[in-house]
A = this chain, B = another copy of it.
């Protein structure tokens, strides 16, 4: 599906990427329902009919865009292996791609509207992300690095929600909201200050 091809399909694959780039721009800045195929075509510098030759419908286009996002993203980027460092690293990276974050933020909320084609995608995505964090937190707990009394399942839902929520506030006020600082504060809250250190709360 994402292989490089020779022959007549090479151009199609290129075109599809070009169109998806345009779709990203349009859906990120207008939302799905309000974004139009015409505008996507205009941004991609092709005719509407040409766009619809490559994607049979608006719904097709959105789903293809969401699929590509998953394919492109580093996903569970196992950079250092340290969860906190990896989360903060990803959060820092996200600040360099505000357009993609805007796309995700607008569409995820858009998806709760009636008959939205991205609904299943986001429902499954949230479930997957929560489960991923839960597993990571369980590892931390088993390593004795999770603060006592912290439920890995609840903490997983918290950081998933917190991350999305704070990115929304960052998109509205880029200069006022430091996404990394909030995530760091939360992660330090649920873990032990340092290795083996015993803390005393009085």
Contacts and interface: CB of A to CB of B under 8 A. Distances in A.
- Copies of this chain present: 2
A169 B159 CA distance: 12
24 contacts: A29-B114, A30-B33, A31-B31, A31-B33, A34-B113, A106-B109, A106-B110, A110-B110, A111-B172, A112-B168, A126-B169, A147-B201, A148-B201, A149-B188, A151-B185, A158-B162, A158-B185, A158-B186, A161-B161, A161-B168, A164-B165, A164-B168, A189-B189, A200-B201
Majority DSSP secondary structure for residues of A touching B: helix
Contacts of A200: 200-201
The 10 closest A-B pairs by CB, nearest first: A161-B165, A33-B34, A109-B109, A165-B165, A161-B166, A154-B185, A164-B165, A162-B162, A112-B171, A29-B114
Interface in A111-162: 111-114, 119, 122-123, 126-127, 147-151, 154-155, 157-158, 160-162
Contact of A113 (B29, B108, B162, B168): B29
